[in-house]
Amino acid sequence: MKNIEILDAAGDVANTIFAEEEWAEANYPGMWREAAMQPAEPDPAPAQRHVSVGAFFDRFGAAKWAILADESAQVRAVVRDASVRKFIDLDNADLPMGLAIIQAAGHQIDPEAIVDAPVRAEELP
Amino acid sequence: MSTTLGDLAGYGVGGRLQTLAALIPASRSIAVTADGWAVISAMGGGAGGTKNWTPGNSAGWGIKGIQVKAGDVIGFAIAAGGAPTQSAGVAAAKGGDTVITLNGTTIAVAPGGEAGPANNTTKSPVTAVPTGMDFWMPGRQPQLPLNYFMGGAAVDLGGGTIATPSISGDSAVAPTPNVLVGMPVGSLFAPFDVWLSSAAPGSPGVGATAGISSSLFGGGVGTSDTTGTAPSPGRGGSAGATSNTSVAGGAGLGYIRLYADVS
């Protein structure tokens, strides 16, 4: 559906309507054109940033094994919380806190890179 | 024999069967399948948004009854909303007209809202009136006192329109029961079969407000906010004056009811 300018005999714009091009041609044959200004497109739905649990742990890089083996109560809670999920939502508001706990336990991770890196196809749940 | 809504009412309901009731949000043609009557509602498009001058007006609307025959084609050329202007010093653009045809001949026109003035010290007068209608209402000016970033005008559904402190665009629905301007909440706007369900933003007839566009008939946001896009007017409403991205006026609207003669 487009904004269509209906033209008069002199080629001037007589009206602007909201129509399919086929409808305009059927009803105003040869006497219409697309308007320069078209209706706004709807905003695209925000992309979901979900990764599989395994891909999430892979984002820890070289620190992954040490984190998974960490038996301290807080790190173990974070790891278990992640492990029981079907996927990890990188936009989950609780995620930065969990990463901060891991960092505070002495693991060398980059929380911004873990959260903000684009989701690759192989990381999808 | 005349062909008006009054005549349809005079015949009474008996002897006719409603065969179609449809909202027409975009241009289309309706083929009549049986002799009888058509009751047609049409609304023009609202004026487009402006950067710093007074917004234009909302659209007029009307309703018409006509006798029809099987094989007739009723055309609805639904108005586009007025285009937005993105530069200061450019008047708000007029809304399009909604044109109703019967077998290719124009039988009624619901005009678009008038363009805004080339200043911020006056409002454009309402001059366009629907033609060919049995009952109609003209468009409406924005209701706020003149200032730089006025909200857009709402469509007058029959009760007038109102600007309210809490909502940027004008409304066609009374904000509270003790306000007697605008249609009462809970009433039915029968020409388009729209229930005016609430005075809350997003409901039919209520003006746009921050972050919420109008769904139908309300005016668009006027704002000095310099980020983002101004929330849009509803169908027939005019867009507001904004410092941010200006938006188009509300497109027009149509509605049709077909009644077949039954013996």
Kindly provide the ipTM of the predicted complex, given to two decimals: 0.89
Q: Do B77 and A16 touch (CB under 8 A)?
A: no
The token pair at A69 is: 């083996």
Residue A116 lies in a domain: yes
- Is residue A13 domain-shared with residue A62, that is, in the same domain? no
- Is residue A27 domain-shared with residue A88, that is, in the same domain? no
Residue A17 is nearest to which of B79, B84, B232, comparing CB atoms? Answer: B79
Q: Closest-CA residue in chain B for A15? A: B96
- Is residue A22 domain-shared with residue A57, that is, in the same domain? no
Q: What is the C-alpha to C-alpha distance for residues B114 and B94, in angstroms, rounded to an integer?
A: 5
Residue A39 lies in a domain: no
- Is residue A55 domain-shared with residue A102, that is, in the same domain? yes
pLDDT at A42: 67
- Which residue's structure tokens are 């820890």? A60
Residue B142 has pLDDT above 90, yes or no: yes
- Is residue A21 domain-shared with residue A62, that is, in the same domain? no
Residue B9: pLDDT band (50, 70, 90) is low
Looking at the 3D structure of chain A, how many domains does it have?
Answer: 2
Residue B26 is nearest to which of A1, A15, A26, comparing CB atoms? Answer: A1
Residue A30 lies in a domain: yes
Comparing A22-36, B1-15, B96-110, B220-234, the range with the smallest average pLDDT is B1-15
Percent of chain B with pLDDT over 90: 80
- Is residue A65 domain-shared with residue A18, that is, in the same domain? no
Q: Considering the entire predicted model, what is its pTM? A: 0.78
- Is residue A26 domain-shared with residue A56, that is, in the same domain? no
Q: Is B251 on the interface with A (CB under 8 A)?
A: yes
Residue A42 lies in a domain: no
B29 contacts on A by Cβ (under 8 Å) = 23, 26-27
Percent of chain A with pLDDT over 90: 79
- Is residue A26 domain-shared with residue A70, that is, in the same domain? no
Residue A73 lies in a domain: yes
Q: How many CB pairs under 8 A join A and B?
A: 64
Q: Do A16 and B248 touch (CB under 8 A)?
A: no
The DSSP letter of residue B190 is G
Comparing A92-96, B67-71, B98-102, B165-169, the range with the smallest average pLDDT is B165-169
pLDDT at B7: 59
Q: What is the C-alpha to C-alpha distance for residues B96 and B241, in angstroms, rounded to an integer?
A: 19
Given a contact cutoff of 8 angstroms between Cβ atoms, the answer to whether B253 and B78 are in contact is yes
Residue B130: closest CA among B221, B44, B251: B44
Q: Do B27 and A16 touch (CB under 8 A)?
A: no
Residue A62 lies in a domain: yes
Domain span at A12: 2-34
Q: What is the C-alpha to C-alpha distance for residues B64 and B256, in angstroms, rounded to an integer?
A: 10
Residue A45 lies in a domain: no
- Is residue A56 domain-shared with residue A114, that is, in the same domain? yes
Q: Do A17 and B28 touch (CB under 8 A)?
A: no
At residue A61, the 3 state secondary structure works out as: helix
- Is residue A16 domain-shared with residue A74, that is, in the same domain? no
- Is residue A64 domain-shared with residue A108, that is, in the same domain? yes
Q: Do A24 and B27 touch (CB under 8 A)?
A: yes
Q: Closest-CA residue in chain A for B47? A: A16
Q: What is the C-alpha to C-alpha distance for residues A78 and A56, in angstroms, rounded to an integer?
A: 12
Residue B1: pLDDT band (50, 70, 90) is very low
Q: Do B27 and A20 touch (CB under 8 A)?
A: yes
- Is residue A63 domain-shared with residue A111, that is, in the same domain? yes
CB neighbour class for A14 (10 Å; exposed up to 12, middle 13-18, buried from 19): middle
Residue A41 lies in a domain: no
- Which residue's structure tokens are 């065969």? B19
Smallest CA–CA distance, residue A1 to chain B, in Å, is: 8
